[in-house]
Structure 1
Amino acid sequence: MEYLPKDPAILVSSVNMLLRDEEFDTLEALCYNFGTEPDDVKRYLFGHGFVYSAEQRQFRPIGYDE
């Protein structure tokens, strides 16, 4: 993968897979590799109904843990 996908569902799936399979230790390392800022990814996905859980190292639907 040379770039992060633009489609929110595919982006969430890709980021979560890369973190789960330990391709990257942190969201920051993943974003650095793809030339983007973690806050930009978090903001974009928050706008599409996802929030980042640092504890779980994954994006989850807003309200999932409530």
Structure 2
Amino acid sequence: MQQLPDDPMILFSTINMKLRDYYPSLDALCDDMAVDKGQLTAKLASAGFEYNPAQNKFW
């Protein structure tokens, strides 16, 4: 994953901050940052997080 932390907890925090401040959806973030959505969600799922599209954040 380009330009993103490897540690799942720091990744969780970083992605949620970017979703809150810059992107209206996970798709928009992945498209803009050229990040594979499947890899990102799998990495965060391995740490127990899942994406909530209604709230536009992982929890």
Q: Same fold (TM over 0.5)?
A: yes
Quote the residue 1:3 is aligned against. Answer: 3
TM-score (normalised: structure 2): 0.84
Q: Give the count of matched residue pairs.
A: 58
Query: Unaligned stretches of 5+ in structure 1?
Result: 61-66
When you count strand as a share of all residues, which structure comes out higher?
Answer: 1
Supply the AA of the counterpart residue of 1:29: A
Quote the residue 1:17 is aligned against. Answer: 17
Quote the residue 1:27 is aligned against. Answer: 26
What is the CA–CA distance in structure 2 between the aligned matches of 1:15 and 1:48, rounded to whole Å?
14
What is the CA–CA distance in structure 2 between the aligned matches of 1:32 and 1:11, rounded to whole Å?
17
Query: Unaligned stretches of 5+ in structure 2?
Result: none
TM-score (normalised: structure 1): 0.76
Supply the AA of the counterpart residue of 2:42: R
When you count helix as a share of all residues, which structure comes out higher?
Answer: 2
Stretches of 4+ aligned residues off by more than 6 angstroms: none
User: Secondary structure at the residue paired with 2:58?
Assistant: strand
User: Secondary structure at the residue paired with 1:32?
Assistant: helix
Say which structure, 1 or 2, has more relative contact order (CA 8 Å, 6+ apart): 2
Indicate the RMSD between aligned Cα atoms, in angstroms: 1.4
Identical positions, percent: 38
